Structure 1
Amino acid sequence: MSLTEDERLNLLYEASILDTPPTTEFDAIVRLACSMFDMPMALVSFVDEHRQWFKARQGFPLEEAPREHSFCGYVVETGSPLVVEDARTDSRFCANTFVKDWSVQFYAGVPLSEGATCYGGFCVLDTKSRRFSDRDLEQLHSLASVVMGLIREHRQQSLLKEQQRELELKQARFEQTERSAKVGGFEMDLSTGAIVWSDQIYRTVGLPIGKRMTSEEVIGCYAPEERDSVRRRIRDILNGAGTGIDKEYRIITPEGEERWIRVVSDIEHLQGEPRRLFGIVQDVSEKVRYEQRLLRAANADPLTGLANRAAYNAHMERLTATEASSIGLLLIDVDRLKQINDTLGHATGDLLLKGVASRLDERLGKRGKVFRLGGDEFCVILEAPANARGMRSLARHLIEYIGRPLEVGGSTINPMITLGGAISEGEMDAATLSQNADFALYHAKETRRGSYVQYQPSLRSTIAHRIQIVREVELALTEHRIVPHYQPLVRCADGQVWAFEALVRMQRPDNSILSAAQFHEAFTDSSVSHHITTRMLEHVATDIRNWMNRGLDFGRVGLNVSASDFMRGDLETKIVAAFASRGIPLDKLVLEVTETVFLQGLEDTVATTLQRLRKKGLAVALDDFGTGYASLTHLRSLPVDIIKIDKSFIDTMLDDESSLAIVELVLNLAQKLKMKVTAEGVETHRQAMCLLEMGCTTLQGYLFSKPIDREHVVKYLTALKPHLIGNSERTQEELRPWPSQTYA
């Protein structure tokens, strides 16, 4: 059923979104739309009676515009998508302020609708005429559904704030009522057992006013768990041994309603003998329920409804205090949450967390209790005695079940979790058990994301070893013992050196050299990794300047960079400064980036940085190609000049048909994409000849040279010069290891 304009406007105003401040989630959607459709402008537009107001805008300076002649006004009026390929020739919109004042020629917009209600439009615009396919329109609809999710989330948050205000008002009223409340009075003749109640007590306990009460009938008003203590108290009073009380009790009315009362009583004595029990009864049900809600709120996660960290701490303390045997603890980390928050918005990230929480709770059932500890971390405490085999089985089951496709905010996500588990032993306290599980989770995240690691005592030494390695590398950085070694890349066309790859090495105090693989744990520390790159950049720039001064033809130098280098946001500035200060053109540098960089929500940042550097002459290589998760996708979307085929494929391609097929596929693909290809890890003539026959561009490996220090690079290139005379016409069969490989 269609709505009238007044009804639509009322629903728009009730959404409480007009004239609200900008939010990162809405802003992210318009930026994403511009990127997806290669448009300069995108808007989230809400249309009220006289204007269209922009909740989010990209590339358009106005915060609002008149509704008259507006594109989005037309979308609201028709409730249908609108595509205008050339607004200048469209009589409906040629008077639009977008067209007259801001030279908009193209518009594509879809309704922001919920049921029969259309709030406005989600659109992209351009200052030139263009086409917009059905597929483009479908994608615009998908983005609009995400916007509607954000609108619903905004409305829900507004409602929650209103409910909070109402709750605070009710509490204020309750406190006022409590101060002035009338309470019922009672008395009991201890000599006869006769009981007298005021009308208010009858109302409180739900009995007819004036009903004759005996002590057993009074006891029957209390909840079952309270009755024995009340019976003993009355018996003690009748026997002369009782005292007055001030205590709260739970009662059950005849209709089954649960209430709480506060009983304040005293005993009247005559001539030293107890004669009368008297006091007041106050209905404190609302206060008790409010306290219970506060307790639940203090121990519940507001997003997922699961028990929170405070409840987890209390539960663990209770279990360990009772010496429960074999407590099993699983710590669970939701992977890629930051990437989802950054790309799809925090609202979608929250929906993902709620979905994971629901699946955990559903799957655990009575086997354990689920907690959300905060952020992307959950945990499970197993109620039954735990064993390692059962916990591994449960962890694998949870990984499989949680990993099923989940519809969130108009997107389909395959959640991935990483787990670490531990079992209590002997009189182990809660802190130790939690720390053991944390060690296991930490190790799983560092080495086997998406899997489960069971705590073993050796993990402590493993992590301690990592910490020791990090400290050694930090000291080496301080003492300038982090240095590059260089491995040549040989051009297949003529056998000449095309470039060198700078590989990080650590020089020990005894002058022995460690390869990166021998201190790889240090690279998991983002700060250390960043400082290593900074030091390597300075060394490489200095060495290049020195080789240029000597007139050596070294081609380019490849430098590996990590995700932490892009996270800092200063990579481009550092590279430009290091090379400019030494008068080195950037076409002497190749940045080598692995796909793991793009698995941490940094794809847009990396692509933008690399694109700017490429425009300044730098080349980009995709390192370890074939070992990542989405190589073909990255080739399509990233600014890459060179593909480096991972050594694992080169090692096996002569004996394994699948490896050979992958190498052939990469070479054919690179040729069509006009990219160079470097085969890494070439160690035999057979490998080299096979790659030459398949059209590989450059080779790198021990067949030509191991990594060598800066001085041996000079000797290598100097020794190479005589061998290069006439080499331009050598046949493939003449390819041989360079004599300078002895310098390795």
Structure 2
Amino acid sequence: MTSYEQERLSALKQLNLLDTPPSESFDRITRMASQLFDLPIAAVSLTDSDRQWFKSRVGVAHTEIPRFKACCGEVADTSGMIVINDLLASPHYSDSTLAHSGIRFYAGAPLVTRDGYTLGAMCVLGTEPRAITDSERSALRDLASMVMGQIEMQHAYGRVDPLTGLGNRSQFLEDLDDRGRDTPGRPVFAFFTDLVDMSQMISIQRVMGPAFLDKLVRSAASHLQRSLPDGVRLYSVSPCQFVHVIEATDENEAVRLAAAWRAVLASLAPDDSASMMMRPAIGVAPFRLGERLAEDALRIAHSACQDARHDETGVGLYSSEIDALHQRRFLLLADFRTALTQAGQLRLDYQPRVDMKTGSCVGAEALIRWEHPLLGNISPVEFIPLVEQTRLARPLTSWVIATAVSQAAHWQAMGLTLCISINVTALNLEETDFADTLIAALAECNLPASAIELELTESALISNSPAASSQLAALQAAGISIAIDDFGTGYSSLSYLQKISAQVVKIDRSFITSLGQRRRSQTLVKSMVNMAHDLGYSVVAEGIEETEVYDLLKTLGCDEAQGYLLSKPLRVDDFERWLAEH
């Protein structure tokens, strides 16, 4: 079964039409069809998975026939009108159930939902062969549209929100499409109103119960509708969310109107218990009727509303630049899944770490790079924060570990003893098998624990999660080194250093930049180095770009150095050449 057929059957089931009693509103249309075509049989036929079921019928006693070789089934499959002048003359239908029952002529027009699913057919049938005129074809299509109008009005594709009595999202989209056909090109503004943010909605339901939230929605809908100009229709498009469309002279007026409506919602009567939980935000989106899809108009208005809530301004005007940024983020996330499985897009570059006493390279930090096939190089500063908030975070870390361990094994085979540092997050420590996976990967490549070092930020290491503590303990027991990354930027209190077991401290680049000209930074770095050494840590300074800073850090007793002065992050081949030269 195709995905379309599954979705089509799902749409049909949601309508709750199959096996329901006759309805006069449908029977009226089938009688009209029979009279209009002067044929004995007419039916509203719905195509189920294995049968044709008649919601309404004239001139036939049974309520269903098998779908196999049923003409209405072909209508559902093709979504087009089917006319068969003589079933007995048809190679396909001459032995069908209809032909065996004495039917010779068939004509059926598709019953199509707004979402493009064909439910069945409005059909007329006769016991004698005949042809059909163009005007009759047009009439049959009109009858099919009338049937769909009844279905959409009476059933699951209804247009009224039961809580507020307002038109719902489907009604809004249909009305906006109609306005686009009636007055194409007219400039208007869509106003998207969100009563409470999502986290607050969940809290309200949990603490106060659904009835309280229902009261809030009804109260807000009533106040907002009364504040709108006459003739402007308000729609309820989602729980706690409304939309309406009006004309305004310019964007300034539209924003002023939105601010006024927000004030109406924010100042509900003090005795209204729902008002104290109200934190409305309104998004304003300009567009021209008929020049933007109704779905997209709703989307950009919602986007402006989300920007208003995020910025805590209360009212937001749609920005194509911000929208493009969100679209890019969505695109990157969608494409990153492919990047993880398609060779050639992701790679690890390596930045050397040098022992400041001997000048020799003792390790390298693995830094992920993404070469997008269309967008080119994507900075990890852009895509890593996005990925870390999704389910892709775990497969990303798995890819980094596998790649780094494989590279460490390759260098070991070349006789190079290097420690590769990998950046991981607090989320990785929440994975119950994280330590076991890393330890198993090292064992499979016959690598010592010293081949890999894990870099975690202070916030990740201070986590009180039992799962994170368990993973850290397992890593430490296996002899895998832990480095505190971006040291000095996370917490004002250093008491956490007593609680965690790490081997390396990496002083953040913000302390290292222009260290030679900043006396206060020199004092801070000196204190960090001394304190870290007293606590048993090895100290790495990252972000070194000047010889003067390198020499100063060496004087202060820093153990290792990393930064552009020594080398930028390098591809594997370039890194190996750098090693040979140094």
- TM-score of the superposed pair, with normalisation by structure 1: 0.41
Contact 2:303/2:323 (<8 A) preserved: no
Contact 2:547/2:565 (<8 A) preserved: yes
Q: 2:579 corresponds to which residue?
A: 717
Contact 1:500/1:558 (<8 A) preserved: yes
Q: Does 1:530 align with 2:403?
A: no
Q: 2:217 corresponds to which residue?
A: 313
Q: Does 1:692 align with 2:560?
A: no
Secondary structure of residue in 2 paired with 1:592:
strand
RCO comparison, higher one (Cα < 8 Å, 6+) = 2
Q: 2:159 corresponds to which residue?
A: none
Amino acid at match of 2:402: E
Q: 2:86 corresponds to which residue?
A: none
Secondary structure of residue in 2 paired with 1:326:
helix
Contact 1:306/1:370 (<8 A) preserved: no
Q: CA deviation at 1:369?
A: 7.9
Identity of aligned residues (%): 23
Cα distance in structure 2, aligned partners of 1:301 and 1:367: 20
Q: CA deviation at 1:507?
A: 2.4
Cα distance in structure 1, aligned partners of 2:531 and 2:269: 50
- Equivalent position to 1:508, from 372, 380, 405: 372
Contact 1:559/1:592 (<8 A) preserved: yes
Amino acid at match of 1:709: R
Q: CA deviation at 1:328?
A: 7.6
Contact 2:439/2:478 (<8 A) preserved: no
Q: Does 1:497 align with 2:361?
A: yes
Contact 1:328/1:423 (<8 A) preserved: no
Q: 1:576 corresponds to which residue?
A: 439
Cα distance in structure 2, aligned partners of 1:643 and 1:329: 54
Q: CA deviation at 1:620?
A: 0.4
Task: Describe how 1:464-483 pairs up with structure 2 within 5 A.
Answer: 464-480=327-343, 481-483=345-347
Q: CA deviation at 1:614?
A: 1.4
Q: CA deviation at 1:593?
A: 0.5
- Equivalent position to 1:550, from 409, 414, 417: 414
Q: Does 1:457 align with 2:361?
A: no
Q: 1:326 corresponds to which residue?
A: 258
Task: Describe how 1:68-467 pairs up with structure 2 within 5 A.
Answer: 303=207, 308-324=212-228, 325-327=257-259, 379-381=278-280, 421-422=281-282, 436-441=304-309, 455-458=316-319, 459-467=322-330
Secondary structure of residue in 2 paired with 1:577:
helix
- Equivalent position to 1:664, from 478, 502, 526: 526
Q: Deviations over 1:373-419 (max 9, x none)?
A: xxxxx7514xxxxxxxxxxxxxxxxxxxxxxxxxxxxxxxxxxxxxx
Cα distance in structure 2, aligned partners of 1:364 and 1:666: 55
Q: 2:509 corresponds to which residue?
A: 647
Amino acid at match of 2:434: L
Cα distance in structure 2, aligned partners of 1:649 and 1:464: 36
Q: 5+ unaligned residues in a row in structure 1: which ranges?
A: 1-298, 331-360, 373-377, 382-420, 445-450, 721-744
Counterparts in 2 of 1:717 and 1:512: CA distance versus 1, 3 Å: farther
Contact 1:482/1:532 (<8 A) preserved: no
Contact 2:370/2:378 (<8 A) preserved: yes
Amino acid at match of 1:666: M
Cα distance in structure 2, aligned partners of 1:454 and 1:595: 37
Q: 1:412 corresponds to which residue?
A: none
Q: CA deviation at 1:619?
A: 0.4
Q: Deviations over 1:692-715 (max 9, x none)?
A: 111111110011111112222322
- Equivalent position to 1:683, from 545, 551, 562: 545
Q: 5+ unaligned residues in a row in structure 2: which ranges?
A: 1-202, 229-256, 288-293
Q: Deviations over 1:180-212 (max 9, x none)?
A: xxxxxxxxxxxxxxxxxxxxxxxxxxxxxxxxx
Counterparts in 2 of 1:691 and 1:423: CA distance versus 1, 3 Å: same
Cα distance in structure 2, aligned partners of 1:647 and 1:453: 38
Contact 1:625/1:644 (<8 A) preserved: yes
Cα distance in structure 2, aligned partners of 1:492 and 1:583: 29
Q: Deviations over 1:204-233 (max 9, x none)?
A: xxxxxxxxxxxxxxxxxxxxxxxxxxxxxx
**Structure of greater Rg:** 1
Cα distance in structure 1, aligned partners of 2:274 and 2:302: 15
Amino acid at match of 2:350: Y
Counterparts in 2 of 1:711 and 1:430: CA distance versus 1, 3 Å: closer
Contact 1:490/1:497 (<8 A) preserved: yes
Counterparts in 2 of 1:320 and 1:550: CA distance versus 1, 3 Å: same
**Count of residues in Structure 1 that have an aligned counterpart in Structure 2:** 338
- TM-score of the superposed pair, with normalisation by structure 2: 0.51
Q: CA deviation at 1:630?
A: 5.0
Contact 1:552/1:717 (<8 A) preserved: no
- Equivalent position to 2:451, from 549, 574, 588: 588
Cα distance in structure 1, aligned partners of 2:225 and 2:391: 40
Mean Cα deviation higher: 503-512 or 695-704: 503-512
Q: CA deviation at 1:657?
A: 3.4
Amino acid at match of 1:317: A
Q: CA deviation at 1:583?
A: 1.1
Contact 2:505/2:537 (<8 A) preserved: yes
Q: Does 1:624 align with 2:486?
A: yes
Q: CA deviation at 1:668?
A: 1.8
Secondary structure of residue in 2 paired with 1:526:
coil
Secondary structure of residue in 2 paired with 1:322:
helix
Secondary structure of residue in 1 paired with 2:207:
coil
Secondary structure of residue in 1 paired with 2:524:
helix
Counterparts in 2 of 1:688 and 1:440: CA distance versus 1, 3 Å: farther
Q: CA RMSD in A?
A: 3.8
Q: Deviations over 1:13-50 (max 9, x none)?
A: xxxxxxxxxxxxxxxxxxxxxxxxxxxxxxxxxxxxxx
Counterparts in 2 of 1:302 and 1:587: CA distance versus 1, 3 Å: closer
Cα distance in structure 1, aligned partners of 2:209 and 2:520: 49
Cα distance in structure 2, aligned partners of 1:628 and 1:367: 45
- Equivalent position to 1:559, from 422, 442, 445: 422
Contact 1:371/1:379 (<8 A) preserved: yes
Cα distance in structure 1, aligned partners of 2:374 and 2:407: 24
Q: CA deviation at 1:463?
A: 2.1
Q: Deviations over 1:664-706 (max 9, x none)?
A: 2211210111101111100110110111111111110011111
Q: CA deviation at 1:589?
A: 0.9
Counterparts in 2 of 1:300 and 1:547: CA distance versus 1, 3 Å: closer
Contact 1:328/1:422 (<8 A) preserved: no
Q: Deviations over 1:330-388 (max 9, x none)?
A: 9xxxxxxxxxxxxxxxxxxxxxxxxxxxxxx9x9996998679xxxxx7514xxxxxxx
Q: 1:486 corresponds to which residue?
A: 350
Amino acid at match of 2:347: V
- Equivalent position to 1:615, from 474, 477, 498: 477
